Structure 1
Amino acid sequence: MKEELAKLLQEMERKAEEERIPIMQPEGIAFLCSYIETHHVRSILEIGAAIGYSAIRMASLDREIKVTTIERDQKRYEEAVAYIAKAGLEKQIQILEMDAFDFHSEEQFDLIFIDAAKAQYIKFFQQFRHNLQEDGAIITDNLEFHGMVSGEVEIKHSRNLKRLVRKIRGYIAFLQENEEFESEFLKIGDGIAISRRRKGQKEDLLLERKQ
């Protein structure tokens, strides 16, 4: 089974490279999987399934892990469904074809993974922070955006790219100034942020849930 899964993941990686489908870089997905194992994460909400690569990687770590993942693009959703079935992970991965902003649930997750439309990162964070367990974390990918956010790579001849980079920088500032969450920024893969509730905010959250 492990060999079959490895072959499937390699197939997905080739497809992503050939068709320019955004999936996590090797260092990034390795870190994410390590975080899940180290922190005994069992419930995950993923915003942005693409073809299901990261959902499969996360769910395959442990049979007790449950992943709810959202994808609005019909073609990618259908591809993700097929890959999840090939991996034999239908019981662990629930994939929803919808706009993430239309997803409303009271369910609490150990981990929320944001890897969708980068221009909407702040809105995603604000909407789904209520679905985070008291000691959970929100992990965001692509904060370096191929070196463009830090300025290591020059952005040429593209207003859209410049606008997107400004949005990502705005999200980083939002995390840095956030009074509810404390964020750690890691230069791993394409840039990752780990956001956890500050201690006082955890206590306030518990009081809110008791009322």
Structure 2
Amino acid sequence: MDENQYIEALNIRDELFADIYQYALENKIPIIDSDALNIIKNFIQLKSVKSVLEIGTAIGYSGLHIVSVHDDVQLTTVELNKDSYKIADENFKKYNVQDRVNNIHGNAKEVEIDGTFDMIFIDASKGNNQLFLEKYKPLLNPGGFIIVDNILLRGLVIEETIQNKNKRKLKEKVDRFNHYVKENYDHTMYFNVGDGLLVITI
């Protein structure tokens, strides 16, 4: 065990939604790493977040964790894939949080969202991170913050030689986005947890 593994183990908490977690593993559905999720939930608690916009619902795993922090959290979440959207809808109902979740089926590059939010969580197509950031930033409440997941691409972002053309293009887009944020936003934090978290305070 190295230092990173030691800290990772300390950050992981008991799984609240074990059935959904297991379903994701069995069906190879990407979900956020537990240690990164723990940091997000602590930010929600520390900042007294009450409204969250999530870009990329998948099956509702991270959304369920977000609304689990406290009963005042309201979530608006957008998912492109229709099957995932339906599964997420079932999961929100299963855990009786549907009244606190506005579950939207649509393309996050095109949909128009009503309202403003204390936190925006971007966890959709990684090549569109900058588009999502600039599109939804105006919906952030004063003092709000944006979190972006998967800024490391499982280590791909630092690979020097990538043979696969699509992977190379994705790596280049994410790397450009990471540096774009560094150069254009004064208050940023890059965390080497999970698959890499970026926190931007506006």
User: Which runs of 5 or more residues in structure 2 are unaligned?
Assistant: 1-13
Are residue 183 (structure 1) and residue 188 (structure 2) matched?
A: yes
What secondary structure does 1:113 align onto?
A: strand
> RMSD of the alignment, in Å?
1.6
Counterpart residue number, 2:94:
86
Report the Cα distance in structure 2 between the residues aligned to 1:161 and 1:14, rounded to whole angstroms.
27
What secondary structure does 1:91 align onto?
A: helix
Asked whether the equivalents of residues 148 and 155 of structure 1 are also in contact (C-alpha less than 8 Å), the reply is no
Residues 12-27 of structure 1 correspond to what in structure 2 (within 5 A)? Answer: 12-27=20-35
Q: Deviations over 1:128-168 (max 9, x none)?
A: 000001100010000011111133xx765421111111111
> Identity over the aligned pairs, expressed in percent?
28
- Aligned length, in residue pairs: 189
Q: Deviations over 1:44-96 (max 9, x none)?
A: 00000000001100101111100000001000000000011001000111100
Counterpart residue number, 1:31:
39
Asked whether the equivalents of residues 8 and 87 of structure 1 are also in contact (C-alpha less than 8 Å), the reply is no
What secondary structure does 1:23 align onto?
A: coil
Are residue 72 (structure 1) and residue 80 (structure 2) matched?
A: yes
What secondary structure does 2:99 align onto?
A: coil
Are residue 196 (structure 1) and residue 201 (structure 2) matched?
A: yes
- Structure exhibiting the larger radius of gyration computed from Cα positions: 1
Report the Cα distance in structure 2 between the residues aligned to 1:175 and 1:7, rounded to whole angstroms.
32
Could you tell me the TM-score, scaled by structure 1's length?
A: 0.85
Amino acid at match of 1:123: L
Amino acid at match of 2:190: F
User: Which runs of 5 or more residues in structure 1 are unaligned?
Assistant: 1-5, 198-211
Q: Deviations over 1:25-47 (max 9, x none)?
A: 01111111111111110000000
Amino acid at match of 1:193: L
Amino acid at match of 1:172: N
Asked whether the equivalents of residues 141 and 191 of structure 1 are also in contact (C-alpha less than 8 Å), the reply is yes
What secondary structure does 1:77 align onto?
A: helix
Are residue 161 (structure 1) and residue 152 (structure 2) matched?
A: no
Amino acid at match of 1:56: L
Are residue 173 (structure 1) and residue 179 (structure 2) matched?
A: yes
Q: Deviations over 1:84-114 (max 9, x none)?
A: 1001000111100001122223511000000
Structure 1 residue runs of 4+, over 2 Å off? 154-157
Report the Cα distance in structure 1 between the residues aligned to 2:161 and 2:36, rounded to whole angstroms.
23
Could you tell me the TM-score, scaled by structure 2's length?
A: 0.88
What secondary structure does 2:98 align onto?
A: coil
